[in-house]
Chain A
Amino acid sequence: MKCSVPNGVNTSAHIGWCPGCGHGIIARLVAEAAQALGIEDRIIMVEDVACGEFAQNVLQFNSIGAAHGRPIITAAGAKRVRPDAIVIAHPGDGSAYSIGMESTIHCALRNENILALVVNNSVFGMTGGQMSPTSLPNMKTTSSPHGRDVTKNGNIFDAMKVLSQLDIAYLARGSVESPAQVIKTGKMIQKALEKQMNNEGFCLVEVLSPCPTNWNLTPQEALEFMKEQEKYFQLGEFVDKGGK
């Protein structure tokens, strides 16, 4: 099977992610989907202030660096005035489900024609591994050193349960825990981009991703831990509407 790094990836760029981080895989999936659809020139990436923003170096697409927590709403603003562009917001779980939650929900309610590609590693990565809305119960983070106590810190947020109730175009959760899941996740991203090309509306693809550094695990152990993550965050497609 031929596998070559897609054109959208700049391999000579500084790849800022830690060893074993899933971000690099997810960035490559975006570039593969764009290449398969022939839309590389149309893409506008809207990055977060978080680990995901290293994609501004790696992906050779036009891009906007939004404020932390604001990629989804900023992407919606870009798409409104550049309807020919294919706009991808690229937040993490802390961004999309904590500080940026109001716009995640309201962009879905307005069915903004963008893809929100949410990288869920169950922590705030760039600030050093604090608890996020998707940190697992009893998970030790730097801001839940005795483990996440859901009675004190609240329950974990499952975007699929909430957003599947809304009238949006596509909602799916993938994972980069294994080559098979990586392939499936790539298909989800491609499908979401096709839907945007067809003006179908809001798409959110969440991708479970390992953060060995902040999970205090080796990359191999982190892949194992992702099986724990998957117990709380079911994989699959949750909304898949036909064209308008």
Chain B
Amino acid sequence: MSKIVLSLERCKGCHLCVSVCPTKALTPSGELGEKGYETVRVDEEKCVQCGSCYRMCPDYVIEIL
């Protein structure tokens, strides 16, 4: 079973992943990451590992492993 993995230290808070997530599993986290941007959080229950977020993330934060 694959699983979404976030490397939030690279997140710049663009939230393109949030915009394209078909199940709304990704949402803004309300917390600032290492770079000072608002990161994202994932609801693994809702995540269907479709990879849309991986494809849109410009900072290589998201992988489906």
Chain A interface residues toward B at CB < 8 A: 1-5, 9, 11, 15, 17-25, 28, 176, 178-179, 182-183, 212, 219-220, 223
Contact = CB atoms under 8 A, between A and B. Distances in A.
Given A2-B2, A179-B52, A11 B7 contact: yes
Interface residues of B, number: 26
Contacts of A24: 57-60
A3 B15 contact: no
A17 B10 CA distance: 12
Contacts of A5: 60, 63
A4 B19 contact: no
Contact of B59 (A2, A15, A223): A15
B49 A23 contact: no
11 contacts: A3-B54, A5-B60, A20-B14, A20-B16, A23-B58, A24-B59, A25-B58, A212-B14, A219-B15, A223-B16, A223-B19
B55 A20 contact: no
Contacts of B16: 20, 219-220, 223
Nearest to B58: A24
Given A15-B60, A20-B58, 4 more contacts: A2-B2, A3-B62, A3-B63, A220-B15
Interface of B: 2, 7, 10, 12-16, 19-20, 37, 49-52, 54-60, 62-65
A19 B13 contact: yes
Q: Is the interface of B mostly helix, strand, loop or mixed?
A: loop
Contacts of B64: 1-4
A22 B65 contact: no
Nearest to A186: B55
Contacts of A21: 14, 58
Contacts of A4: 63-65
B20 A179 contact: yes
Contacts of A17: 58-59
A19 B14 contact: yes
A194 to B, nearest CB: 21
